[in-house]
Each structure stands twice: as structure tokens, then as C-alpha cells.
Structure 1
Amino acid sequence: MSRIEPTIKNKAYALRRLKQLLYDAVRIRLPDQKFGLLFSGGIDSIVIARALKDSGREFTCFTAATDEGCADIVNSRRAAQVLGLRLRYWIMPQDEVESYLKKIIPLIRDSNPISVGVALPIYTASELASRDGCKAVFSGTGADELFAGYNRHKHVADLRGLNRECYYDVLNCYKRDLYRDGVITRDNGLELIAPYLDSAVVDFALRIDPGLKIFKGDPALDAHSDSRDRIINKYILRELALKLNIPKSIAFTKKKAAQYGSGFDRAIERLAKKHGYKYKSTYLEGILTPAVRQAQKSFGFLVAEWNPRVY
């Protein structure tokens, strides 16, 4: 495990090298055909958007939610306007959500409310990209795992163990997120491209000092952070965004998880209540067919046999 020890403590070097590796990861994966970016207005997809824009290639950002006022739509529109990005978004009516659930749950072989809530905006944004003629989509998958983006990372008792936790998070990402996102995009005729999961990016990110990932307190950032929460996650990635001339007001915006920022979690909750279920999980489990339930038990084998092109 020595390769994941926090050996990179120099902030300037970390920023310079991280930019180089991410830009290389994007550049070598630029497809010949039309492509897009799964976009939420959060720091993960914003950094990829900047790298794509700096490549000189034309692309469109795709977002999906249940309401114009959802955080993902508000943040995506604001970021697109400031950064000069082409954005298309899809507002899904409540009465269409259930039909998509019946399509997505058997596809991803998972009825967990969190996983399904994340899958819905990915599927609908991917469908929008496919209709727009895209053959591939870039994604910010992997950034939370590499740069300590989850809320639990903020509360790690000993930061010296943070990179070890990030290491295992990356391993779980392949089973939990990449499988789900891969089958969703493939179902829409798209190739999934995840630059953060480039091997060189992963190796470097797991060597960045935890203090550059979880930063505790900075008066200069108070205007752009919750005064009740001075702990800043993904700090090095946000600092990289500043180096890429992304405004601080965007780079340090707190983002809701995909299922909440898109409004799909609330939509699932409404459907559960409509059908007389107390819990979302019980409602979603009912959508699984017996065959899929059996396949779900063998999920680990399914993932092991599936060979995604993380390229």
C-alpha cells in the first residue's frame, strides 16, 4: 500500500501536475465522432468541461432534472453561461418518471434508492445526448473517490488514513458506479469516457496529501462557503478550477448529490406514496422481475465479467 502514501505536499506542484495529467487524459480520449459531456454544474464536470473547451473541439453539455428550479439545472445554466458552454437539458414530467424506472431498474439490476436516484439523471441525460447525435459522452465519474468528495470524508478521524479510504473508494467505484453508468450509456448507444479514472490520474491523485483534499477553514472562501461548515472537500480540484480561470463563486459552490440535485429522489418518493408504500426501497423492489432479482444475487459475478472500456 506504499504507493498510496501521501507523498505530494507541494500545492503548486500538485496543481501543475494534476492539470497536465487530466488534460492528457482528456486529449487522448477525444473521439473522432460527435460527443458530449454529462453535466451537473458541479466541480467534477466543470473541470472536464474546461479541459474539453481548451482542446478546441465542439461539444454539448447534457443535464436532466424534474424541475427548472432543481439545483442541477440552476448550477448548470449558471456555469454554462459564465464559461461559454453549449448546454441542453431535459425537464422530465412527474408522470414519466415511473416508465423510466421500469426501464432503468432491470437494466442496472439494482433497486437501491440511491443508485436508482443517480441512474435516472444519467439515463435521461444520456438519452438526450444520443438524440442529439452523440456517439460518446465524457463523465466526471471517479472525482469524488479520488479527491475525497463525500461528506463522510470530511469527518475522517485521522486524515492520515484518508488516501487509504480513497483507494478503496476507487476500487468500489468500478463495481458501484462504473458498471451502472456504463450499461446506461451503452443502452443509449454511447461510449462512456471517464478521464478521472485514467491510470496516471488515479496513481497521482492517491499520492496527494490529504490536507490538500480536505481543507479546514479559509477566511478568503467564507463568501462562497456555508459559515456552518468550514471544511472544504475536493479542495485541490477546486483550486485547480481557479487556475483554469473558473470563477471562485462556481469552483467553490456546494453541490447536492445527483439524486437530490436533480429532483429525482423526491419524484421516487412521491411515486412510492402514490402506490401506498411507506419506503422508497419497498416500492422500487417491486419493479424488479424475478429473473432480475436472481441476477442481482450474482451481481459481483456480473461486474467481474463485464469489461468496461475505461479509456
Structure 2
Amino acid sequence: LDEIDIEGYISQLLKIDPKITKMEMGYELVLFILMDFIPEKYVVTGQGADELFYGYRRFIDNPRLKNDTYINRLFNVTLPREKKMAEYYDKELITPYLSPGMLKIRHYITREDNIEENRNKLILREIAAKISLPEEIYNRNKTAAQYGSGINKYLLRQSDKIFRNE
């Protein structure tokens, strides 16, 4: 992070979406910076997997929480913003989890089939096992990109300066 002009990326991201929140900035900034460094035109993301397969920790912690709100937000806020971010770099997002076929079966993807005790996305883990992916890949604990990259720490330190109007 020391060699990257994070403030420049933040400034540009705020121009793309002036309504972006502090929380959204964390995960969107990681994608935005990555798109600048990726030479390929097409960027394949896992967008939608957490929403469809109950991958967020909050689904484990709150058994009554449904995924509809998160799916709606994904389509109405997150995806349009990310498409603009991709266009800024002349890229195109490929989102396999949001393909028409996946969306057609989304109502059959239940919470009960995806959460057991402290584990989530069980359907995806089962598919990964069946296609012989290494267990250390499909059973590892996920760390959100904004935390693993250090972006979140940076944003916490700079939050007041970045989000004066919030």
C-alpha cells in the first residue's frame, strides 16, 4: 500500500459514486485498484456468491436474516457502481454467480442448505470437493479483501478526512 496513491484512487472512486459509504469504500477500493493493475480486459469476480449462498458471517450470527435485501442491494447499488468502475478502466466484469441460469434457481438455494453451525456456503464447498479442489482451498476461512489488503486500516485512519459529509 505504501507505493500506491490510495488518495488518488479514493478521489476517483468518489467521482464515480459520490454516495459511496465508508463501508462500501473498503471493498470497492480494493477492486478499483486491482482493475488498474490487471492488464486483461475481462475481470472475473465472485460477486453474488456471498449473497446467494449465505456467505456473510452475519447470516451465521443471525438465523432470521434473509438474503433478499442483500441481493437487491447487489443489483441496485453495488453492481451498477462496479460496472462504472470497470468502464473507467475500459474493463468488463464477468459475474458467473449472477448469470441468468444462477438467478433462475436462486429461490431453490436455501439458508438451511448453506449454513450448518459455524460454516457457510456449504453448497459451494460441496461442489468444490466433488470437482477435486484441494480441501485447504474450499475449507479455508475467508478474509474480506479490504481487511487482508490493509485498505480498511488505512480508511479507518483517514476516515474523517475522506468522508467529511457523512
TM-score (norm 1): 0.50
Contact 1:108-1:184 at 8 Å conserved across structures: no
Correspondence for 1:234: 121
Contact 1:126-1:185 at 8 Å conserved across structures: yes
Correspondence for 1:197: 98
Correspondence for 2:14: 105
Task: State whether structure 2 residue 61 is matched by structure 1 residue 155.
Answer: yes
Correspondence for 1:126: 35
Contact 1:111-1:285 at 8 Å conserved across structures: no
Task: State whether structure 2 residue 132 is matched by structure 1 residue 245.
Answer: yes
Correspondence for 1:166: 67
Correspondence for 2:112: 211
Contact 2:42-2:92 at 8 Å conserved across structures: yes
Task: State whether structure 2 residue 161 is matched by structure 1 residue 283.
Answer: yes
Distance between the aligned counterparts of 1:172 and 1:128, measured in 2? 27
The answer for unaligned runs of 5 or more in structure 1 is 1-91, 217-230, 273-279, 294-311
Moved more, 261-270 or 141-150: 261-270
Superposed CA RMSD in Å reads 2.0
| SS of residue matched to 2:93 | strand
Distance between the aligned counterparts of 2:4 and 2:46, measured in 1? 29
Distance between the aligned counterparts of 2:44 and 2:56, measured in 1? 21
- Per-residue deviation at 1:111? 4.2
Distance between the aligned counterparts of 1:114 and 1:269, measured in 2? 10
TM-score (norm 2): 0.89
Task: State whether structure 2 residue 76 is matched by structure 1 residue 175.
Answer: yes
More strand by share: 1
Higher relative contact order (CA 8 A, sep 6+): 2
| SS of residue matched to 2:108 | coil
Contact 2:22-2:163 at 8 Å conserved across structures: no
Distance between the aligned counterparts of 2:16 and 2:5, measured in 1? 17
Matched AA of 1:205:
R
1:22-171 pair list within 5 angstroms = 92-93=1-2, 96-129=5-38, 132=39, 134-158=40-64, 165-171=66-72
Correspondence for 1:32: none
Correspondence for 2:147: 260
| SS of residue matched to 1:137 | strand
Q: 1:155 to 1:185 in 2, by over 3 A?
A: same
The answer for unaligned runs of 5 or more in structure 2 is none
Count of aligned pairs: 166
